[in-house]
Amino acid sequence: MRRTIEVALGTSGLDAQGQPLRAPLVAQGSAAVSLERAPVLAPEPELKGDHMLINIGPQHPATHGVLRLVLELDGETVVRCIPHIGYLHCGFEKIGEYRQYNQIIPWTDREDYLNSPGNNVAFALGAERLFGVGMTDRTKVLRVILMELSRIISHLVWLGTTSVDIGAFTPFLWLYQERENVYNLLEAWVGARLTTTATRVGGMAADIPDGWLDGLKAFVKNFPKTLEESVRMLETNAIWAGRTVGLGAMSAQEAVNAGLSGPMLRASGVAYDVRKDFPYLDYETYDFDVPVGTQGDVYDRFLVRVEEMRQSVRILEQAIRRLPDGPVNIDDPRLILPPKHKATSEMESMIHHFKLVMEGPRPPAGECYVAVESPKGEKGYYFVSDGTSKPVRWRIRPPSFVNLSAIPKMVEGHLLSDVIAINASIDIVMGEIDR
């Protein structure tokens, strides 16, 4: 993928007049300027003092949630980093063992709350594998639309908050306006903005309302303009590049060994995307590219996420074109509730409705692990069923949990101020990490 940073950072030092050298903000032409950050110099032996212990969080705006990092500093250099998590732990997996499958879907909204529709789809896919049922063609395309919309809003939040962390405020406002448009679309569809609960096992909560596609088309048409404007604010910005290039780099081998996934892994040069390698929802029939970075640093993660948003727009355009007519729910009375008007007028439908709600559908005994490409990486749901209406085990494989566990390796040796940028680049959501 493209990695041309067309700015040069000023060298630290003074000019002939004794004034600090300024960073030239002009483009340097098409040749990429190498922006290798000078290696962090070890402190002079005579200056070496006691190490200092710094506690960041758990309540700190730059930790994106209730994350606590204990840092051991030598001067300003991080010698050691100990992350502490668990402040948001509320036992989602335990609660899931006491709920029927459709009753768990609202919990999936709340784990990775920036990606609620995507989690709903992932859960439905997993549960449908466990039940051994499929989905209708229309639902398949609607779910792709949901997945890509939620990828866009999640990356928008990431880009907005990270730019605030690093010192740019304007992109935050522009991007959140676009996010608002997506939330309006979601609200029009399922009635909720953040906690969507958009899917059911075997179908969707609702079909899209009339005229909804026009709103989506308008978004797909207008969003790239905002995106490119915001990216232009950052991509060749000397401050942005200076605070992201060369930071927190992970080699491809390290990243795979550490289990990183999503943009974190792809920035390191590994083209592993669940949509391509283990496809679901017929993703193999969509035409899109998987962006891959070269350095694995914070700047590459930024480039990868931006490119993913562009690719998501491409997928959305294709999905709009191919959306077929038809029902959204499969024709299976063991899973799908009867229509409300029948449940209130016919005895059989009422009994059917009652039994489905009170006892719940029962999958055959078995287990399955279904992974999707969430904005953070490989999100997997592992179900174990013993044939009753409630899972024996519902395991969430949280991508940002595994990504965050590599943070000591990424920050050690960098400066304290860079910890904020590196931590932001992981795109953590504590609701998903602590569950």
Partner 1 sequence: MTAPVPTPQDAAVTPVVMAAVASDTNGAPITPVNVPRTGAPANPTAAVLASRFGAAVVRTEVVWGETTVFVTRDALHDVVQFLHDEPSERYDYLVDITAVEYRDGARPLEVVWHLRALGHRRFLRLKVELPKRGPLWVPSVIDIYSGADWLERECFDMFGIRFEGHPDLRRLLMWEQYKEGHPLRKDFPLRGRFSRAEQLKQALAADPEARYSMEELSIAEAFQSLPEDMKARLAERSAHGELEEGE
Q: Does 158 bind partner 1 (CB under 8 A)?
A: no
Q: Which is nearer to partner 1, 118 or 363 (CB)?
A: 363
Q: Does 283 bind partner 1 (CB under 8 A)?
A: yes
Q: How far is the CB of 270 from partner 1 (least distance, A)?
A: 7
- Token digits of residue 60: 């700190």
Q: Nearest CA to 396 among 410, 375, 382, 378?
A: 382
Q: Which is nearer to partner 1, 228 or 282 (CB)?
A: 282
**Footprint of partner 1 on residues 315-334 (CB under 8 A)?**
332, 334
Residue of 143, 380, 426, 429 interacting with partner 1 (CB under 8 A): 380
Calpha distance 366→310 (Å, rounded): 39
Q: Which is nearer to partner 1, 60 or 395 (CB)?
A: 395
- Token digits of residue 295: 């350095």
**Footprint of partner 1 on residues 76-115 (CB under 8 A)?**
80, 82, 85-86, 89, 91, 93-95, 98
- What are the CA-CA distances from residue 388 to residues 15, 360, 413 (Å)? 76, 9, 52
Q: Nearest CA to 381 among 86, 104, 91?
A: 104
Q: Does 72 bind partner 1 (CB under 8 A)?
A: yes
Calpha distance 319→151 (Å, rounded): 15
Q: Does 279 bind partner 1 (CB under 8 A)?
A: yes
Q: Nearest CA to 69 among 431, 430, 314, 383?
A: 430
- Token digits of residue 45: 């032996």
Calpha distance 112→158 (Å, rounded): 13
Q: Does 371 bind partner 1 (CB under 8 A)?
A: yes
Query: Which residue type occupies 76?
Result: E
CA pseudo-torsion sign 400, 83, 159, 271? negative
Residue of 215, 224, 259, 338 interacting with partner 1 (CB under 8 A): 259
**Footprint of partner 1 on residues 284-313 (CB under 8 A)?**
284
Q: Which is nearer to partner 1, 117 or 377 (CB)?
A: 377
**Footprint of partner 1 on residues 38-67 (CB under 8 A)?**
50-53, 55
Residue of 328, 356, 419, 426 interacting with partner 1 (CB under 8 A): 356
Sheet holding 393-397, edge to edge: 366-374, 377-385, 393-397
**Footprint of partner 1 on residues 396-435 (CB under 8 A)?**
397, 401-402, 404-406, 409, 434-435
Q: How far is the CB of 335 from partner 1 (least distance, A)?
A: 7
Q: How far is the CB of 355 from partner 1 (least distance, A)?
A: 6
Helix (H) or strand (E) holding 366: strand 366-374
Q: Does 123 bind partner 1 (CB under 8 A)?
A: no
Q: Does 393 bind partner 1 (CB under 8 A)?
A: yes
Q: How far is the CB of 219 from partner 1 (least distance, A)?
A: 26
Quote the crossing angle between the two packed helices 298-322 and 416-426, to the nearest 10°: 20
Q: How far is the CB of 329 from partner 1 (least distance, A)?
A: 14
**Number of other residues whose CB lies within 10 A of the CB of residue 228:** 13
Q: 421, 299 in Cβ contact below 8 A?
A: no
Q: Which of the 8 DSSP states describes residue 388?
A: S
Q: How far is the CB of 328 from partner 1 (least distance, A)?
A: 18
Provide the β-strand partners of residue 378: 373
Q: How far is the CB of 94 from partner 1 (least distance, A)?
A: 6
Q: How far is the CB of 49 from partner 1 (least distance, A)?
A: 11
Q: How far is the CB of 241 from partner 1 (least distance, A)?
A: 29
Q: How far is the CB of 56 from partner 1 (least distance, A)?
A: 13
Q: 115, 154 in Cβ contact below 8 A?
A: yes
Interface with partner 1 (CB under 8 A), residue total 76
**Footprint of partner 1 on residues 125-154 (CB under 8 A)?**
129-134
Return the residue matching tokens 């965050």. Answer: 404
**Footprint of partner 1 on residues 176-235 (CB under 8 A)?**
none
Sheet holding 77-84, edge to edge: 52-56, 68-74, 77-84
